[in-house]
């Protein structure tokens, strides 16, 4: 542990020196990368400095106990030694967690795709509930949201909706949401008051830079078409909507939310890169032995991860067995309690594997 901390301190000093190097400052991409690494290491260094201070207090107290004969001073030194040791132990535990391997995607923006599953129109309405829930949570966190593509229903639901969430650490807060979400409630169209079970599938994809996933332009089929849906005079008058088909995989991405064809194409390419990156990661994950896979992670999209029970006002996350009786607040974007519990479970799993 102490060796790792000394190595981290050396790297931190090197990063700080690099940020004063004119050659680095003249290269925006390199400078941005160094600043990101510096930002990630800063909390570790702050704790490490506090730990070093506590170790210094321990040494001073022990020296005083070895040389001092005055009973009062020895009593004070003994108390100081006890407090400093407790603080050093606590800080070391916190540093152990901070030094755990980080998900390389945690600081990235995300693209979230929600699709209605089993349940017909009720599933589409539930997809709209999830979209509203996530955007309210994102807004409360200071993230920016923008729709990439949507397929709405006449009753206000979504057969499918994809949207981008931008902000530092967006993926770290949303990565646990991938999977099948199940709702149990009485549909508005149900006259007999019977509870129906419906589902929606959520996919959370980290946005990746162009250099991370290279796409050969020859592998893309680009099509433009007129936008459809509500939108005033602009709709159906210009061919701003785009459809991208990735020929090797058959993946199709559409975007019509922007008035500019260029902006729609840019959004569609971002989503395509994210999908291809996600596909690549899943292929790599399948090669890892099952006993080494994290029990709480981004989740398999075919796995039922959570149930929203309206009659009982509860939400249950099946991966960690946590039930909260705050459904009204939860669907209004108060997700921190659940997400923090999932993050804690992930940390505990990583500690087991150390």
Asked whether residue 311 is domain-assigned, the answer is yes
Q: What is the number of domains present in the chain?
A: 3
User: Is there a single domain that holds both residue 202 and residue 156?
Assistant: yes
Residue numbers of the domain that contains 40:
2-98
CA–CA dist 229, 233 (Å, integer): 11
Cα dihedral: 124, 130, 131, 134 (round 10): -170
User: Is there a single domain that holds both residue 184 and residue 114?
Assistant: yes
Q: How far is CA 68 from the centre of its chain?
A: 54
CA–CA dist 232, 19 (Å, integer): 49
For the domain that residue 231 is a member of, what is the CATH number? Answer: 3.30.160.20
Vertex 151 angle, CA 145 and 155, to 5°: 100
The torsion angles phi and psi of 203, rounded to 5 degrees, stand at: -120, 125
Tokens linked to 346? 């992930």
User: Is there a single domain that holds both residue 31 and residue 82?
Assistant: yes
Q: How far is CA 121 from the centre of its chain?
A: 29
Tokens linked to 216? 């050969």
285, 306, 327 — which closes off a domain? 285
Pairing of strands 241-246, 251-255: antiparallel
Q: How far apart are the first and last CA of the chain?
A: 11
253, 285, 317 — which closes off a domain? 285
Let me know how long the chain is: 354
Instruction: Provide the residue-wise pLDDT of the chain in tens; the chain has 354 residues.
Output: 778 788 888 888 898 888 888 888 888 878 888 887 888 788 889 988 998 999 999 999 998 888 888 888 888 989 999 999 999 999 988 888 777 777 778 888 999 999 999 888 999 999 999 999 999 999 999 999 999 889 999 989 999 999 999 998 899 999 999 999 999 999 876 667 788 999 999 999 888 765 467 788 888 888 887 665 544 444 445 567 888 899 888 888 888 877 788 888 888 888 888 888 888 777 765 644 343 344 334 434 456 899 999 999 999 999 999 999 999 999 999 999 999 999 988 888 877 766
Asked whether residue 103 is domain-assigned, the answer is no
Distances (CA, A) of 245 to 30, 135, 192, 203: 32, 28, 45, 19
Neighbours of 133 (CB within 10 A): 19
User: Is there a single domain that holds both residue 42 and residue 180?
Assistant: no
């Amino acid at each position: 542990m102490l060796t790792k901390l000394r190595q981290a301190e050396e790297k931190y000093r090197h990063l700080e020196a690099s940020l004063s190097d004119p050659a680095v400052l003249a290269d925006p991409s390199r400078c941005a990368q160094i600043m990101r690494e510096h930002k990630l290491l800063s909390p570790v260094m702050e704790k490490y400095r506090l730990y070093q201070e506590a170790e210094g207090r321990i040494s001073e107290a022990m020296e005083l106990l070895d040389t001092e004969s005055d009973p009062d001073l020895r009593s004070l030194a003994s108390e100081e030694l006890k407090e400093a040791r407790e603080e050093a132990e606590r800080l070391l535990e916190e540093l152990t967690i901070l030094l755990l391997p980080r998900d390389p995607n945690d600081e990235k923006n995300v693209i979230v795709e929600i699709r209605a599953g089993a349940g017909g129109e009720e599933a589409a309405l539930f997809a709209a509930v999830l979209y509203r829930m996530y955007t309210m949570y994102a807004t409360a966190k200071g993230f920016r949201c923008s729709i990439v593509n949507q397929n709405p229903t006449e009753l206000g639901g979504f057969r499918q909706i994809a949207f981008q969430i931008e902000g530092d650490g967006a993926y770290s807060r949303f990565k646990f949401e991938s999977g099948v979400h199940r709702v149990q409630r009485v549909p508005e169209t149900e006259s007999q008051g019977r509870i129906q079970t419906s589902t929606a599938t959520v996919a959370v994809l980290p946005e990746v830079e162009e250099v991370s996933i290279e796409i050969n332009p020859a592998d893309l089929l680009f099509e433009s078409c007129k936008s459809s849906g509500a939108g005033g005079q602009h709709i159906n008058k210009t061919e701003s909507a785009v459809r991208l088909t990735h020929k090797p995989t058959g993946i199709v991405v559409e975007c019509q939310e922007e008035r500019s064809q260029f902006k729609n194409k840019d959004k569609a390419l971002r989503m395509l890169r994210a999908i291809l990156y996600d596909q690549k990661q899943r292929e790599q994950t399948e090669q890892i032995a099952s006993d080494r896979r994290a029990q709480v992670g981004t989740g398999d999209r075919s796995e039922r991860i959570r149930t929203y029970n309206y009659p009982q006002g509860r939400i249950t996350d099946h991966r960690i067995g946590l039930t909260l009786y705050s459904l009204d607040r939860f669907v209004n974007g108060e997700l921190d309690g659940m997400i923090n519990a999932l993050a804690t479970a992930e940390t505990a799993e990583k500690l087991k594997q150390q």
